Amino acid sequence: MHIYNKIKFFSFEKKMINYLCEGWSNKRHWNFFQEVFSRKKKFKNIALLGVYRGRDLGYMCSALKKNNGKDFHIYAIDLFDFKTPFRKVGNKKIWQQDTNILEPSIQNSKKIVKLLGCKKNVTFIKGDFLKIKKLKSKLDFAYIDIGHDYNTTFQAIDICKKLGSENIVFSGDDFYDGYTLGTPWGVKKAVKKKFKKFKIHYDYIWESSLKNYKI
């Protein structure tokens, strides 16, 4: 009965997160985080690059809480509004946001974290992902879900590598030939360029390790 109640509770958490946090993540992302954070490995410091309205952040908190108790900390970074200028290479925008969708929301993201009882486990960083360079903690896990162009993904992987522990797990969303407003995604190209080997979960989420990082 105890196991049944535990499963039922976490199923409720998933439904609550999905209801309160708009986004594109679904059961494959939920299952991925549950599987990763149940491994026999200590995930103490985590970086989430790309928060949007908090759905993946909620999934992470639920999985970490279930498997690690409260001994973890997530650094959650996002622009959190469309008014912030996007990074450019020269004079060319490297990513365009579809203004027809809801804006990223730090308020919404903080709300779900508080409801999950993980307020003290999350530090929000508002701004360009390059701000993550200032972290002093060694990262055990990095999830990259920001601008899906090649250069941004490539650079984010490099930054996380420099901040990573010797057992860091790299991962990210949208390993897929997609487009946003006519801009092709470059996630697949960047991952293939940076790692000798990698896994693909649920045909969409990529994962690799430091030993497979190309020097």
pLDDT digits (tens, 9 = 90+) for 100-139: 667 889 999 999 999 999 999 999 999 888 999 999 999 9
Distance of CA 107 to the CA centre of its chain: 18
Q: How many C-beta atoms lie closer than 10 Å to residue 112's C-beta?
A: 24
pLDDT digits (tens, 9 = 90+) for 132-147: 999 999 999 999 999 8
Least confident stretch, 85-89, 157-161, 168-172: 85-89
> Could you tell me if 151 and 94 are in contact, meaning their C-beta atoms sit under 8 angstroms apart?
yes
Say which residue, 16 or 9, is predicted with more confidence: 16
DSSP assigned state of 213: B
The predicted pLDDT at position 5 comes to 46
Average pLDDT for 14-42: 94
C-alpha distances in angstroms, 174 versus 75, 122, 162, 205, 210? 21, 24, 23, 6, 20
> Could you tell me if 80 and 53 are in contact, meaning their C-beta atoms sit under 8 angstroms apart?
no
Residue type at position 111: K
> Could you tell me if 33 and 70 are in contact, meaning their C-beta atoms sit under 8 angstroms apart?
no
Q: Which domains does the chain have, with CATH numbers?
A: 2-212 (3.40.50.150)
| Strand ranges, E, within 26-185 | 45-49, 73-78, 88-89, 92-93, 122-126, 139-144, 164-172, 179-180, 183-184
